[in-house]
Structure 1
């Protein structure tokens, strides 16, 4: 059986977990936190989570894992059978994962972990995020899902990462950049959590937070 290694506070772990649950792919969870031990690096070369353990070996990077699952389980229809629609889904995932979340990640040290980031980093990140959010708005429909009326795999990325972008900007700049741009991300999250798979991901994440207090 496929084993998903990571922990429920990781947005990229939750993205992959959401895909596995949403599309009915059997898997086992193995709780592990990122680290730099030789044992862990043998499975995840950069010491990150998630990574997927399969009968063929290990696989890291969340989007690579999603692509593997789509190819291994073509009957699940993870991406649209229409090439153009599938490409548009991937385009949205790229915007969420790279242009929004990865950019906002520059702020996490101070926003979530008690550290500090430089004023230069804050200024540069603010400029990039404003630009990238504007581009994202030209693509995302939020009607109510990212691609329109129907849920797609792009929403697994949106659900996992958009709240972090909003929370990080509010913590650092005193304002939520997504809401300021007119994106009702809270309503979007509420809509996604009506799906049993998302509700399970959310419940498991909250359980870890409570356990850690």
Structure 2
């Protein structure tokens, strides 16, 4: 059986959870926070989550795992079969990750936990998010899903990226990312109504107290 290492508050971990839920894939969840212990580095070379242990070895990096799951479980496909359409979904996944999720992550500590970020970083993040969401608006269809009429891996990446990036932009910069990508807010609402997404949100809320305690200890040790 597949083993999925991670924790229920992690947006990248939840991307994999949603993909598995949609595909009906059974797996063993191994609750793991990112760490640099020799034991976990033997599983995940970066010490990050998620990591997926298969019979053939371990895979890391969320987009790689999503593509692997689509190969081994063709039901509820996350990528089109036609080469160009598949490449466009991969393009959207990478665009959202690099230009929305990752810039916003640089300001998570201030937006969500009150640990200040320097002004230079915030200026860079504000510019990056503004440019990123405008690029998304140009690249996406939102008809109703990000790549057309079918849910894909790009929608999963959008859901668990914008859900964090939008509050960062609003709280720190008073910028509504959804306004700059027409159709994105309606899509987020549609995705959050899915029963699989609602179950993951329930799991996330239940795991939040333990994660907050872990994070408080980690931030306090710096």
CA displacement at 1:121 relative to structure 2: 0.8
State yes or no: 1:208 paired with 2:207: yes
Assess if the C-alpha contact under 8 Å between 2:78 and 2:151 holds in 1.
no
User: Which runs of 5 or more structure 2 residues have no equivalent in the other structure?
Assistant: 213-222
Q: 1:36 to 1:183 in 2, by over 3 A?
A: farther
Match of 1:149 in 2: 149
User: Which runs of 5 or more structure 1 residues have no equivalent in the other structure?
Assistant: none
CA displacement at 1:149 relative to structure 2: 2.6
CA displacement at 1:140 relative to structure 2: 1.6
Render the CA deviation track for 1:138-170: whole Å, top value 9, x for unaligned. Answer: 012223211233222211111111111101112
TM-score scaled by length of structure 1:
0.90
Question: Considering only aligned residues, what root-mean-square deviation do their CA atoms show, in Å?
Answer: 2.0
CA displacement at 1:17 relative to structure 2: 0.9
> Alignment length, in residue pairs?
212
Render the CA deviation track for 1:150-209: whole Å, top value 9, x for unaligned. Answer: 222211111111111101112222x24413425465432221123232222222112223
Match of 2:128 in 1: 128
Question: How far apart are the structure 1 equivalents of 2:30 and 2:117?
Answer: 32
Match of 1:193 in 2: 192
Between stretches 83-92 and 105-114, larger displacement belongs to 105-114
TM-score scaled by length of structure 2:
0.87
Assess if the C-alpha contact under 8 Å between 1:130 and 1:177 holds in 2.
no
Assess if the C-alpha contact under 8 Å between 1:15 and 1:157 holds in 2.
yes
Assess if the C-alpha contact under 8 Å between 1:162 and 1:185 holds in 2.
no
Q: Secondary structure at the match of 1:112?
A: helix
Assess if the C-alpha contact under 8 Å between 1:52 and 1:58 holds in 2.
yes
